[in-house]
């Protein structure tokens, strides 16, 4: 039975106040409250609570091995620490949170348990320190469980980082889970950006500026596989090249500023190659007319300090390769 109370898909919010015992209610830190999108595990109490109208911080989005493993976040910050209930393992608590967040429209970006999954080649204490979001926690590093979840909708981007540990039973004190919850609410994404650029518009832009940025080609996170919803934009690129048989194009992949420099350079190259391959396979464009290139994070068009800026930087550009006199 799911013990975490969340805002479910139907839009109903189950109040934790209605389900917690009276003793647990009294133990909550005065002035604290659950975050409406996260809720709490039944029977746990809040012993730390803080909100900030704006903060910048970093949370892990992958295992600590090599390269970039933390994501830069900025926005409204809510920090909560839950304690208990006794005799519940931290794994049970965190699995409940994972299930509930999924039901509430979040994507689980990363979930790890223990050193082998969270920090296989580095000290797990380093990972633990980054994952706690500045919230004081028991230093039982060997029990570390962490998840990062994200929801992106019309109201903005919400990122939830959760670090869980447990303290062993001793005397009259039972096994006790502890969870640090970090919620960052960023500004909404721009809604007026053109996502489908028609062939005629691209032709005009190339004649005037020699290049055009395309935002209608989508990839899964950290992958170079073109998502199916990109097909309309690929079709328009194919139409552009078919109606302009002399046109030679450089397809340039761009990333935002997150992640390691060399890795982003490689990822952007692979994504550009995937677009070129799709044009050849789906539209019969001669490969010699296409030059895929990866620019990584080298050429931002906006600041990488905000999600809106990073979204603008994640793009494919079509550059005319003009060799005439």
Residue 286, Cβ density class (10 Å: 0-12 exposed, 13-18 middle, ≥19 buried): exposed
149 & 75 share domain: yes
Q: Is residue 235 part of a domain?
A: yes
163 & 243 share domain: no
Question: Residue 208: how many CB atoms within 10 A of its CB?
Answer: 9
Q: Is residue 4 part of a domain?
A: no
Q: Is residue 5 part of a domain?
A: no
Domain endpoint, select from 133, 155, 185:
185
- Work out how many domains the chain is built from and give that number: 2
Domain endpoint, select from 156, 185, 214:
185
- Domain of residue 276 covers 199-320
The structure's pTM equals 0.56
37 & 141 share domain: yes
Residues 280 and 226 sit within 8 Å (Cβ to Cβ): no
Q: What pLDDT is stored for residue 26 in this prediction?
A: 52
Q: What pLDDT is stored for residue 220 in this prediction?
A: 73
Residues 106 and 150 sit within 8 Å (Cβ to Cβ): yes
Profile the chain (325 residues) by mean pLDDT over runs of 10 residues: 39 33 60 94 96 92 90 93 96 97 95 95 91 96 96 85 96 95 80 74 92 87 85 95 95 89 92 95 96 93 78 88 77
Alpha-carbon distance 208 to 210, whole Å?
A: 6
């Amino acid at each position: 039975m799911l013990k975490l109370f969340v805002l479910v898909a139907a839009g109903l919010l189950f109040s934790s106040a209605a389900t917690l015992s009276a003793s647990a209610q009294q133990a909550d830190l005065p002035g604290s409250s659950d975050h409406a999108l996260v809720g709490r595990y039944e029977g746990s109490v809040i012993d730390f609570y803080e909100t900030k109208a704006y903060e910048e911080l970093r949370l892990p989005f992958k295992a600590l091995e090599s390269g970039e493993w933390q994501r830069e976040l900025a926005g409204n910050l809510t920090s909560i620490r839950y304690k208990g209930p006794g005799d519940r393992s931290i794994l049970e608590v965190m699995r409940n949170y994972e299930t509930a967040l999924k039901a509430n429209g979040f994507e689980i970006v990363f979930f790890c348990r223990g050193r082998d999954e969270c920090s296989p080649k580095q000290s797990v204490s380093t990972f633990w320190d980054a994952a706690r979001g500045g919230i004081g926690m028991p230093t039982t590093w060997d029990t570390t469980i962490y998840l990062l979840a994200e929801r992106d909708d019309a109201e903005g981007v919400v990122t939830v980082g959760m670090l869980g540990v447990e303290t062993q039973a001793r005397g009259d004190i039972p096994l006790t889970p502890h969870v640090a919850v970090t919620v960052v609410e960023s500004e909404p994404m721009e809604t007026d950006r053109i996502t489908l650029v028609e062939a005629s518009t691209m032709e005009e832009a190339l004649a005037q500026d020699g290049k055009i940025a395309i935002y209608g080609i989508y990839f899964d996170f950290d992958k170079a596989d073109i998502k199916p919803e990109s097909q309309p934009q690929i079709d328009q690129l194919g139409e552009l090249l078919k109606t302009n048989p002399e046109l030679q194009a450089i397809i340039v992949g761009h990333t935002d500023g997150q992640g390691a420099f060399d890795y982003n350079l490689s990822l952007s190259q692979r994504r550009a190659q995937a677009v070129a391959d799709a044009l050849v396979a789906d539209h019969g464009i001669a490969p010699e007319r296409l030059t895929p290139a990866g620019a990584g994070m080298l050429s931002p068009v906006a600041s990488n300090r905000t999600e809106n800026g990073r979204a603008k930087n994640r793009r494919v550009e079509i550059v005319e390769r003009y060799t005439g006199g």
